[in-house]
Amino acid sequence: MLWIIPGKQRIGVSNSKIINNELEKEVHVYTIDIDVGGTLTDGVFSDGREITEVKVDTTPHDLTVCLVECLMQGAQELGLQGIAELMKLTKVLRWSSTVTTNVLAERRGGYMDR
């Protein structure tokens, strides 16, 4: 989503009156969608006008690693300083994964005692 924030700038004085001009300052607010797959983790970053896509390797041993790598690469592609700046500009972050579904469908994984 792109928000336009109006501001005022003094551009001149005419007959003792200040003439104001409306400025438009763009503030990018991002929506991030991250999908962790078996092999690749896909990230889609949108500000409502443009879409940036990134792919990183999935790290099955620790899904937080590929999540952080995806956010870092996305921030870099957007020209931001890092994840902290990206998060300040993010309104929605969606995370999805087929990992749990695959574990259930393939009947693998650990068992729990009742």
3-class SS of residue 49: coil
Q: pLDDT digit string (tens) for 9-25?
A: 444 444 444 444 444 44
**Residue 5: what pLDDT?**
42
Domain boundaries, position 41: 29-104
Report d(CA 48, CA 31) in Å as an integer.
8
19 domain residue, yes or no: no
pLDDT averaged over every residue in the chain: 81
111 domain residue, yes or no: no
Report d(CA 1, CA 53) in Å as an integer.
16
Q: Provide the number of structural domains found in the chain.
A: 1
pLDDT band at 35 (very low <50, low <70, confident <90, very high): very high
- CATH code for position 96: 3.30.420.40
92-106 burial, b if ≥16 CB within 10 A, otherwise e?
A: eeeeebeeeeeeeee
Whether residue 41 contacts residue 57, with contact meaning beta carbons closer than 8 Å, is answered with yes
pTM of the model: 0.69
